[in-house]
Chain A
Amino acid sequence: MSEPFEPKIVAFVCTYCTYAGADLAGTSRLKYAPNVRIVRLPCTGRISPMFILKALQKGADGVLVSGCHPGDCHFTHGNYHARRRWMVFRALLDFTGIPPERVMFSWISAAEGSKFADLINSVTEDIRKLGPFDQYQELIKETESPATL
């Protein structure tokens, strides 16, 4: 029997809401899939589309971007700006062939520890179903091999 596929997922989160929500999942001892690696940023406003591309380059099968609910941003507006960028960037990825199911966005507040745990589980399951992002891995592999003349 083959091992189940363990996807690699990178999450970019703001420190005031989603990161704190993830901490709450921890202090509440909720259990969730160990596939996600978190990168902490001060605000969703700081989360650049470049980060997502770099996560994919590092071999992520999925990317999650998450921050405070609208109106709750510690910096008042960072997440409103982020929301616009995400919408545009998501459409761009979609149009160029990166399935939207692989790059997801969510609002998770500091109080939503269980939403965090549930979301990580469902995201992991979804990506597991999609399987490894082979097409992208091909691109990466090519880069790592010495350039041909």
Chain B
Amino acid sequence: MITQEKYRTTVKELLSNGTIKMAIGYKPGSTPDRRRPLFIRTLEEADQLVLDSTCMTNLSGYLVTEGLLSDEKRVGIFLRPEGIRSINILAAEYQLNVDQIIIFGFDSTGREVRPLQGRNAEDFTALLSEIKENPPVIHKEPLLERIEKMNAKERFDFWQEEFSRCLKCYACRQACPMCYCRRCIVDSNQPQWVNTSSHTLGNFEWNIVRAFHLSGRCVQCGNCDRGCPVNIPLRLINQRMAKEVIDGFDHFAGLSSTQEPVLASFKKDDTETFIL
């Protein structure tokens, strides 16, 4: 509550003195544990701001898809550490200019929300480095471990079972801040790389492509997981890929806004033990 009140005041202050033209935060949703995005442009709107542990959605995607930054004015945004990472990636991939972003950082343990120190993306570098070294345990970790322990056949069956439910609704893509392309390779039909029919093969291909495109870019915000109407544990694949790029290339996605995209760069001595 205290954090929420403080932030309401801060937002009002920054709005009135013209530092930001708007702030993106949360407001109550349809059920008590759901929150909806709130676009604050006036002082009255600031009073609707809610900040509690159920504010999960990573809001950074709105900055890009809604074209909110095209007038070069500053926008404030409420972000968890994962959200800050995604801001860094979006900046590193030239989708936004970090100087335009004022960050209202927060995090939560249990039901308690606390603010994060800092305003600009670079203020959080130390915090992000700390998270890189000691990653938080993610709630689905046991399932990840279970999958790792399976043999290839079992893993294949596990995922086919999951993917067979996929509707190709692309809600996961819509929800992910990293999926900002106007057209995705799955939408390209010349050639049709990914089967569009909702057979499991096409679903599998789609999910593989999605995970590949997010390798080294996913920040584990969980927007995709929460967006999926049929509850496919999408983030697990991304989580596995995040581990791969950390172990292989020491690349922690979104550590800074000047980070080189991991799959557009290389080191001459990258590991290659798997190459015959």
Contacts and interface: CB of A to CB of B under 8 A. Distances in A.
A81 interface: yes
A69 B192 CA distance: 32
Contacts of A105: 274-276
Contacts of B263: 81, 84-85, 88
Contacts of A142: 199-201
A95 B271 contact: no
B276 A104 contact: yes
Given A84-B262, A91-B240, A143 B193 contact: no
A94 to B, nearest CB: 8
Contacts of A57: 195, 201, 205
Interface in B152-187: 152-160, 185
B244 interface: yes
Interface in A132-149: 135, 139-140, 142-143, 147
Interface in B233-276: 237, 240-241, 244-245, 248-249, 262-268, 270-272, 274-276
B25 interface: no
Nearest to A140: B201
Given A83-B266, A87-B271, A92 B208 contact: yes
Is chain A's binding surface mostly helix, strand, loop or mixed? helix
B82 to A, nearest CB: 20
Contacts of A70: 268, 272
A53 B266 contact: no
Contacts of B147: 95
B276 A83 contact: no
Contacts of A87: 244, 248, 270-272, 274
Q: Which of A104, A106, A139 has the largest count of B CB atoms less than 10 A from its CB?
A: A139
A99 interface: yes
B247 to A, nearest CB: 9
Interface in B190-220: 193, 195, 197-202, 204-205, 207-209, 211-212, 215-216
Contacts of A49: 208-209, 212
Given A53-B208, A88-B216, A95-B237, A100 B156 contact: no
Interface residues of B, number: 49
Interface residues on A, range: 35 or more
A89 B212 contact: yes
B275 A107 contact: yes
A142 to B, nearest CB: 5
Contacts of B208: 49, 53, 92-93, 96
Contact of B212 (A88, A106, A143): A88
B244 A88 contact: yes
Contacts of A94: 152
B214 to A, nearest CB: 10
B266 A81 contact: yes
Contacts of B245: 88
B240 A95 contact: yes
B160 A139 contact: yes
A90 interface: yes
Given A84-B249, A87-B244, A95-B240, A143 B199 contact: yes
Given A95-B240, A97-B157, A97-B159, A80 B275 contact: no
Interface of B: 147-148, 152-160, 185, 193, 195, 197-202, 204-205, 207-209, 211-212, 215-216, 237, 240-241, 244-245, 248-249, 262-268, 270-272, 274-276
Interface of A: 49-50, 53-54, 57, 70-71, 77, 80-81, 83-100, 104-107, 119, 135, 139-140, 142-143, 147
24 contacts: A50-B209, A53-B193, A53-B205, A53-B208, A57-B201, A81-B264, A83-B275, A87-B274, A88-B248, A88-B263, A91-B240, A92-B212, A92-B241, A95-B147, A95-B237, A96-B211, A97-B157, A97-B158, A104-B276, A105-B275, A105-B276, A107-B276, A135-B157, A147-B197
